[in-house]
Structure 1
Amino acid sequence: MSLTDLTRAVITAANAPGLKRVRQLGSQLDSVHWEKLCFDPSGTRLLAKADSRLRWWNLDTATDVASGSVELKMEPIEALFHGSNHIVTAGPPVEEAAVTWRPRLMAFSTTDGSLWREETLSAPAIGLAMSRDGMLLAILERGEALLWDVAAWKWVRDLLGVEWHVQVKACAFSRDSRFAAVIVNYYNHDQAALYLWDLKASAHPWVHPLGFEFAAGVAFHPTRPLLVARGVHEVVVMDVYERSVLRTFNDDRHYVSNLDFSPDGELMVSSSDTHGFALYHFDTGEVLFSHSDESELTTGDAVFSPDGRFIACAQGDGTVGLWAVDPAS
């Protein structure tokens, strides 16, 4: 972040009621179906995927205009930073593709948006996640899953046990890159499920029915061996080693659609259906702060910055709000 941004306080349970919007990034878009957000590991760049458009901002600058953008032919499922210099996504073929009729894994430069690398995939990707060490998890439409080394730009290995009749809602790696998790909705019955792989083994994943119908998000706790699966109202906390549910809680006031942790794991943030977000205390499930513009427009992701000083929220008009607390809070 810039020197000005570093004067902001880290968001905590004590100062969360003082959150306020301090910047609004980008211009309004005519139509936004859903917007996914991602900070780069340094927190100096923020990426937004809205429909088939990728936009990113350099937060060290004072301007709220995007520093780069890429328009794809079709909508990718996800876009992620690899370091600060590249954006990785799984997108459709274009005329310049190596194999024009096949979907591709693509990496773009954050400097000018140029295509850095590409690789043909066997099927469209329906889920992506990036680990801290640069490994990419890709879930493909045909019930395939693979690990991809982005830095070396090569296949590492396939993962076993993916079913083809699922809608992937979110993927995540544990902080130490040992575990990978996917939360899905099944097409043929009304219960969401969790897939959990131990990447030190070559076995099938632990598949756990979650007891609710609609999956929303999944995230590993940043400091404890815990995994959280989120439904639109429900939260399930699990022990990744014991493969057991530790506790559950509900929030019937918000209909949420994603999940992210503060760096210390004290707080969770989720976007809501009211053009806003809700901030929770992880251990108690208490809602510490919520914001709503009471808009009919669909909101997108809400995510923490890597230093815990900001929450970015994708707003229904295509802009992105940055929220923070004052240094004295």
Structure 2
Amino acid sequence: MTPRIVTPENAKQLTRLRQLGEPTLHPDYWGQVLTFDPRSRLLVSMVLGSKGRLRWWDLQDELPHPRVVQPLPGGLEAVVLPDAQTIMSVTVGGQLQAWSAADGRALRSAHLGLTTSGIDLSRQGDLLLVAGVSGDLRLWDVAHWRPLRDLEPASALLYGCALSADATLAAAGAADDRGENETQGSIRIWDVATGASRGVISVQASRVWDVAFTPSGNLLAAGTSVDDIILVDVVSMKVVGTLKGPPAGAWRLSFNSDGSLLAIGADTGAFVVLRTDGGGCVHAYSDKDDQQASAAVFSPDGRFVAWGEDLAQVGVWGVDA
């Protein structure tokens, strides 16, 4: 039976519907970054750690075993192209690769020349945004498999990055050096067409781990290293709200399809779901493994929340019909 679409009204009823992957104990397991394909059928996991692995499942399969497991030491993140035929991955060392979603064959690769901290794919699938740790932000032309342009560099460490729904704006979470081993978190926004910086917003935290645009593109959410989720109006570049997230900090952010809910992977083995209208937390879960941090992501069809668990498994959550 197909689960219901998750809404602010029923999100308290979220339960784990499936557990994917065999439980595996690795001392160097750090967590997972997850993504769905646009049809909400493929679920991709990048297992973080020295024994990194890229895996994906077809959710129409009944078995918990992944369709493909690709060893990928230093793997950082992956995205799925809109046709769901190709998966792109990047390593911390800046190796960009394309894989066949059908059988895991390596299709092509390139070296970016960056120590990479995050990527995001445009909704149209033509642009890949790549953030470099040292403040570089690059646009990659997916169809022609080549760099398109660099955006204005930032004098800060960059973390998670995002493109707006219409791909006119780029954003990244950052940490600005304040000397004596201290940093201050900031939100940075760029104009994609010109590459120019649109501005910098400092926050009361040492880091901004991740950013995510609402589906409408009017608001940007920023996950900090404390329990604040900052909401920014991207037109006025003003902070317009703050949500209370997990105390350990918001490591990864994911909006549902209408922007009414925000899933947050905490900087511990936990995830929460918040109402974005200020209604507070509607779901929280922890596996009590504070040695791992994993993303929690909404499926595009709004029926699932996937979260990386301890023992390198993936939980698929939903509201029973």
- TM-score calculated relative to the size of structure 2: 0.90
Mapped partners of 1:69, 1:275: distance in 2? 23
Mapped partners of 2:292, 2:92: distance in 1? 25
2:187 corresponds to 1:197: no
* Partner SS state of residue 23, structure 2: coil
Paired residue type of 1:214: R
Conserved 8 A contact 1:269-1:280: yes
* Partner SS state of residue 250, structure 2: coil
Q: Residues 125 and 293 (structure 1 numbering): CA distance in 2 closer, same or farther, change over 3 Å?
A: closer
Conserved 8 A contact 1:216-1:259: no
Matching residue of 1:9: 4
Paired residue type of 2:124: D
Paired residue type of 1:131: S
Conserved 8 A contact 1:314-1:321: yes
Q: How does 1:61-210 map to 2 (within 5 A)?
A: 61-72=61-72, 74-83=73-82, 84-91=84-91, 103-134=94-125, 135-163=127-155, 165-166=156-157, 168-187=158-177, 188=179, 189-210=182-203
Q: Residues 105 and 205 (structure 1 numbering): CA distance in 2 closer, same or farther, change over 3 Å?
A: farther
Conserved 8 A contact 1:46-1:57: yes
Kindly state the Cα deviation for residue 208 of structure 1 after the two structures are TM-superposed.
1.7
Q: Residues 268 and 200 (structure 1 numbering): CA distance in 2 closer, same or farther, change over 3 Å?
A: same
Paired residue type of 1:77: L
Mapped partners of 2:264, 2:91: distance in 1? 26
Mapped partners of 1:279, 1:145: distance in 2? 29
Larger CA deviation: 224-233 vs 262-271? 224-233
Mapped partners of 2:243, 2:16: distance in 1? 28
* Partner SS state of residue 227, structure 1: strand
Conserved 8 A contact 1:160-1:205: no
- The C-alpha deviation readout for 1:268-293, integer Å capped at 9, x for no partner, is 11123563311111011511111223
Q: How does 1:262-277 map to 2 (within 5 A)?
A: 262-272=256-266, 275-277=269-271
Q: Residues 180 and 324 (structure 1 numbering): CA distance in 2 closer, same or farther, change over 3 Å?
A: same
Matching residue of 2:41: 44
Kindly state the Cα deviation for residue 179 of structure 1 after the two structures are TM-superposed.
0.9
Q: Residues 121 and 36 (structure 1 numbering): CA distance in 2 closer, same or farther, change over 3 Å?
A: same
- TM-score calculated relative to the size of structure 1: 0.88
* Partner SS state of residue 17, structure 1: helix
Q: Residues 296 and 202 (structure 1 numbering): CA distance in 2 closer, same or farther, change over 3 Å?
A: closer
Mapped partners of 1:299, 1:144: distance in 2? 25
Mapped partners of 1:253, 1:160: distance in 2? 33
**Larger fraction in strand:** 2
Indicate the RMSD between aligned Cα atoms, in angstroms: 2.0
Kindly state the Cα deviation for residue 214 of structure 1 after the two structures are TM-superposed.
2.8
Conserved 8 A contact 2:96-2:111: yes
Mapped partners of 2:267, 2:160: distance in 1? 17
Q: Which runs of 5+ in 1 are unaligned?
A: 94-102
* Partner SS state of residue 54, structure 2: strand
- The C-alpha deviation readout for 1:212-236, integer Å capped at 9, x for no partner, is 1132321101125111111131111
* Partner SS state of residue 259, structure 1: strand
Mapped partners of 1:209, 1:278: distance in 2? 25
Mapped partners of 1:76, 1:205: distance in 2? 30
Kindly state the Cα deviation for residue 308 of structure 1 after the two structures are TM-superposed.
0.6
Conserved 8 A contact 2:246-2:266: no
Q: Which runs of 5+ in 2 are unaligned?
A: none
